[in-house]
Amino acid sequence: MKNQVRVSSTTTPWPLTTTMTPSSATAADEGDLAVGGVRLAEIAATYGTPAYVLDEADVRARARAYRAALPEAEIAYAGKAFLCRAMIGWIQAEGLSLDVCSGGELALARHVGFPAERIVLHGNAKTPRDVQDALAYGVGRVVVDSTYEITQLAVAAHPGRPQKVLIRVTPGVDAHTHAAVATGIEDQKFGFSLSAGAAADAVRQVLHWQLTERPALELAGLHCHLGSQITSVDVFAEAARRLIALMAWIRDEYGVVLPELDLGGGHAVGYCDGDPDFDLEQYARTVRAVIAKACRQHRLPVPRLTVEPGRAIVARAGVTLYRVLTMKRNPGIRTFVAVDGGMSDNPRPALYGSAYTARLIGRATTAASEPMTVVGRHCEAGDVIARDLPLPSDLRPGDLLAVPCTGAYQHSMASTYNQVCRPPVIAVRDGVARVLIRRETLEDLQARDVSL
């Protein structure tokens, strides 16, 4: 599809809020919207619905914004938010590193030849195959998350070629986010507890494998991740103080000065009008100052900082398109708008109670709005996309709805529940649309069923 968008002469930003949407989103004729210079209704007509639309220029611009705010730091894109071969190419071209958390994500990176030294491998329960593949490719760092994993990695490492590792520390910092995505506090599956002494024990174990005649591991630094959808900069500052104090203890106890500090990601993105956002510039100023001060106090050289944004780079670049299938009006109770997707392409509302918004596209209307709840097609009462939205009272089956801020954790968490096929991912840029990931078919689903 090329040059098929006709943007109105009085182009205006997306009417919802510019913070929730791709930076290129504009109003087009006949009540339509354009992203990357391509009309969304045209994409729906060409590729069908549901469909994920991803603005390449927006992704690249947000990657550059991180590099500009933290020029001295390593920016490692967290691939779990959304990953495909094209996405890896974009972040490689923008000079970012890549954070993967499974053998599958690593295989994608290998397939396109992403530089191994710029890959960080995460995971609280890496399989033996994950470890072997990471060592075979020569990933830059492995974030170790258990004592068993330290031994497993050391035994499998190539003799005379020590694997660089970061120890994931649970610093006991509450990021005040949803319990399902809070990872910096005690009593959860990630990391080594700082307060319980597990982090110190992990340091001893790694250094046992490092301080030998034939070192198998090299302790490159410390890592933490506090959670997701974090708006406060202060929690990152506190985590940095605690990890630098641990670095000082390691120096005093073992004479080893660690060169790297990874503060993870989790930077918040606003999904609805009025949601708090993350201040990247304030984060950069605060964290830089806190690390420098703590290092002066402990007489340590300033370590190289790594941050791992995922959602913050790709979420706003995405818009999901749905077709209205039916309307159900329950007078005095609620109006339901059922669409041709739902929790199989966006499980976040069901998992975390996440809120989204939506708007009519593809036709103009002067009808007054009324509250409606957009629901999916799946056999679950919790299959709700967005609750009590102001939508036009003349909304009808066949209409198109656009849901913004869906670039992160939609496609990557999608399922085939009820044997519903996963949508395609369509990239847009400079008036051109192209398929990054094709629509799944019923034949794809049936091909895996070998029971007969």
Ordered structural domains, the chain, with CATH: 18-55+315-447 (2.40.37.10), 56-314 (3.20.20.10)
DSSP, collapsed to helix, strand or coil, labels residue 5 as: coil
Distance of CA 268 to the CA centre of its chain: 10
Query: Tens digits of per-residue pLDDT, 168-227?
Result: 999 988 655 545 444 545 666 788 999 899 999 999 999 999 988 789 999 999 999 998
CA-wise closest residue to 43 among 436, 438, 433, 361: 433
Q: Is 224 a catalytic residue?
A: no
- Residue 2: which residues within 8 A CB-CB, separation 6 or more? 431, 432
Helices (H) and strands (E) in the chain, counts: 12, 21
Residue from 84, 272, 379, 405 carrying the catalytic annotation:
379
- pLDDT value of residue 173: 83
Alpha helices in 273-353 (DSSP H): 280-298, 311-314, 348-352
Q: Residue 25 gets which letter from DSSP?
A: -
Rounded Cα distance, 169 and 26, in Å: 44
The pLDDT of residue 213 is: 77
What beta strand segments (E) does 351-383 contain? 359-361, 369-375
Each residue's pLDDT tens digit in the chain (452 positions)?
543 443 333 333 345 455 788 999 998 888 899 999 999 999 999 999 999 999 999 999 999 999 999 999 999 999 999 999 999 999 999 999 999 999 999 999 999 999 999 999 999 999 999 999 999 999 999 999 999 999 999 999 987 889 999 999 999 886 555 454 445 456 667 889 998 999 999 999 999 999 887 899 999 999 999 988 999 999 999 999 999 999 999 999 999 999 999 999 999 999 988 888 899 999 999 999 999 999 999 999 999 999 999 999 999 999 999 999 999 998 888 999 999 999 999 999 999 899 999 999 999 999 999 999 999 999 999 999 999 999 999 999 999 999 999 999 999 999 999 999 999 999 999 999 999 999 999 999 999 999 98
pLDDT of residue 89: 98
Instruction: Count CB-CB contacts under 10 A for residue 200.
Output: 18
Per-residue model confidence (pLDDT) at position 165: 98
CB-CB neighbours of 395 under 10 Å = 20
**CA 246, CA 300: separation in Å to the nearest integer?**
11
The sign of the torsion formed by the CA atoms of 202, 207, 212, 218 equals positive
Cβ contact 187:242 at 8 Å: no
